[in-house]
Amino acid sequence: MGQAIQGVPKAMEAERFVLRDTGGRVRAALGMEGYGSVGLWLLDSAGKTRAGVGVSREGSPVMALADQTGKSRLSLTLTDGPGLSLRDQDRTRISLSVLAEGSGIYVWDQAGRERVVLIVAADGSQVLGFRDKDGKVIWKAP
């Protein structure tokens, strides 16, 4: 036990590793992406990316879950603080963020307009605001 197997390389190097199922379909990929990120991506039997974990080109860790079409619906990122985004088919609809200056919940409508904001600042103060479809504040407290 604990002995090295003769003839087995101690390391393998590549820019990309691909795992295929018995039918030849790609089911997982580990590697560099064209825009500078690195990640592990898991694909369903139809070849659509369904889950991934990686590091962005800026150095931020990212985890994502995608729907049956391969579009990201849930992502967790860590930049200045943790953040969680929920997406519909086209864009982010709800995001949660935690930063040194405070935490917030943001809600966007189907057109991508910010409609609801709830922020708790580092000093404990809070803001709750609602906007109409044109971005005009229609209610805010305090």
pLDDT tens for each residue of 105-137: 999 999 999 999 999 999 999 999 999 999 999
For 40-92, write each residue's pLDDT tens digit: 999 999 999 999 999 988 898 989 999 999 998 888 888 777 888 888 878 88
Indicate if 85 and 115 belong to the same structural domain.
yes
74 assigned to some structural domain: no
Indicate if 3 and 59 belong to the same structural domain.
yes
The whole-angstrom separation of Cα 118 and Cα 40 is 34
Q: Structural domain tally of the chain?
A: 2
* C-alpha distances out from residue 128 to 111, 136, 138, Å: 21, 14, 11
For the purposes of burial, counting CB atoms within 10 Å of the CB of 127, is it exposed (0-12), middle (13-18) or buried (19 or more)? middle
The whole-angstrom separation of Cα 109 and Cα 57 is 29
29 assigned to some structural domain: yes
Indicate if 84 and 64 belong to the same structural domain.
no
**Which residue among 68, 93, 124 closes a domain?**
68
Indicate if 16 and 52 belong to the same structural domain.
yes
Note the pLDDT of residue 89.
78
Residue 127 carries which side chain, given as an amino acid letter? V
125 assigned to some structural domain: yes
Indicate if 142 and 87 belong to the same structural domain.
yes
23 assigned to some structural domain: yes
75 assigned to some structural domain: no
**Residue-number span of the structural domain to which 39 is assigned:** 1-68
- At residue 12 the predicted structure's pLDDT band, cuts being 50, 70 and 90, is confident
Note the pLDDT of residue 2.
62
Note the pLDDT of residue 4.
65
- Cβ 116 vs Cβ 122: under 8 Å: no
The whole-angstrom separation of Cα 123 and Cα 81 is 17
